[in-house]
Amino acid sequence: MRTEEHTSKLVQQDRDHLWHAMAKFSEETAPLLAVIGDGAWFQAADGNRYMDGVSGLWCLNLGHGRQEIAQAVYDQLMNVSYFPLTMSHEPAVELAAKLSGLLGAPYTTFFTCSGSEANEAAFKIARQYHAQTGHPEKTKIISRYRAYHGSTLGALSATAQANRKLKYGAGAPGFLHIPPPYSYRPSFPDDIAAADHLEKVIEWEGADTIAAVIMEPFVSGGGVLIPSPAYLQRVADICQKHKVLLIADEVVSGFGRTGKMFGFMHSKGVQPDIVTMAKGLTAGCMPLGATAVRAHLYDAFKGAEGGTHFRHVSTFGGHPASCAAALKTIEILEEEHIPKRVARLSDGIMKELYKLESCPIVGEVRGIGFLYGIEIVQDQHTKEPASEETMVAIASACKAKGLIIGRNGDTVPGFQNILIIAPPLSSTEEDLRFLMNTVKTAVEERVS
């Protein structure tokens, strides 16, 4: 049993020795220290119980305590504890084949440890592919403003969130950014016009210099921007026309989060050249990233001459226990029909959240599946973003009521005003009612 003295010691050790991600240091505020998890909920060292309304970091899709996943990891560790993918092992083979089936076309998969690494691998693969097919000048990568693609150098260079790059100096060369489709604060008349701007940029830069376009089907951490299905269809057509590879970043939207197994599947006829995955791939239980490449692209790496192979390695990428966790996660997603359940429940959740748009500080509610963004403003007519004080107050009110939610922190200067909600896909209907009621109450209390 944890005593008050033991908890105080942990808090002090935390302050002295643990560097927190994305957090400002504070001597006054104790960190939220989780000790027990159960489904969508966890208990903190302070004795309070909270619902995790953001699935950890968008990844704890099946909640805490899934014994089947824990058992699969244990069994694998007791069998083959580690084996590098410079060679092979059974869970990686089975998982790669399974992913190819889920993606709906033949793919060959390179495993890493995270989404950042998966995207780094994708950029290198895209550039090397073009070099080995007679177009070595095709090196530039295009991404969208507000999008997040990772924290390593190449992935951060693709990330178009200015606050994430402060004080880190110049990024990697060869990365370009375009505005996203964003109906609430539009740069274009509609989604198709936003996609057409991509083609203009490709033409202005020279199509013979563009290696790939990377896009989340739905911008997540940058504010939950939800384009129409026609947008990605148009983007795919443009990429095909100009021989530019389309990379779908499914790190957040993959594995049921949007009500389909993958986010790109909402756009009929779209089959990305490369798909990157992580987070929900193992339901957050083990670290694993994946870069799936269309089989015909992989053919360009099969030559026997020196330098043709992909000269990239990840010590723990595709760890046997992580692959075992992913296989069991996918089995649960399929057996429990999780994507269909998310799609079915999402309509009711969105209907309730849309009611918040009558609140004077809510500019727009956006969402798909179990992924929601609530844009908070000072004034609905001017659309002036809400203050930092307002955003902190709403999140703190939710926490005081037992709910953890997120926001688009450290993204666009002056526009960090979007509440983000992404509950575990296995959340019970009672959990979801609690989530909706708590968010609505916290927002409305800020007005009264």
For the stretch 396-413, pLDDT in tens is 999 999 999 999 988 989
- What pLDDT was estimated at residue 303? 81
Phi-psi region of 29 (alpha: psi -120 to 50; beta: other; left: phi over 0): beta
Range 422-447 average pLDDT: 97
Among 66-80, 109-123, 173-187, 303-317, the least confident range? 303-317
- What pLDDT was estimated at residue 6? 87
Instruction: Please give the Cα distance from 434 to 430 (Å, whole number).
Output: 6
Cβ-contact 374, 362 below 8 angstroms: yes
Give me the CATH code for the 4-65+337-447 domain, please: 3.90.1150.10
Judge whether 4-65+337-447 and 67-335 match in fold: no
Q: What's the whole-number average pLDDT of the chain?
A: 96
CATH architecture of the domain with residue range 67-335: 3-Layer(aba) Sandwich (3.40)
- What pLDDT was estimated at residue 29? 76
pTM exceeds 0.85 for this model: yes
Residue 263 per-residue DSSP state: G
Dig out the tokens for 101 from the structure. Answer: 């089936």
pLDDT digits (tens, 9 = 90+) for 297-316: 999 999 877 789 999 999 99
- What pLDDT was estimated at residue 1? 56
Domain ranges of the chain: 4-65+337-447, 67-335
pLDDT digits (tens, 9 = 90+) for 231-244: 999 999 999 999 99
* CA distances, 348 to each of 223, 226, 345, 436 (Å): 21, 18, 6, 10
Residue of 408 and 24 predicted with greater confidence: 408
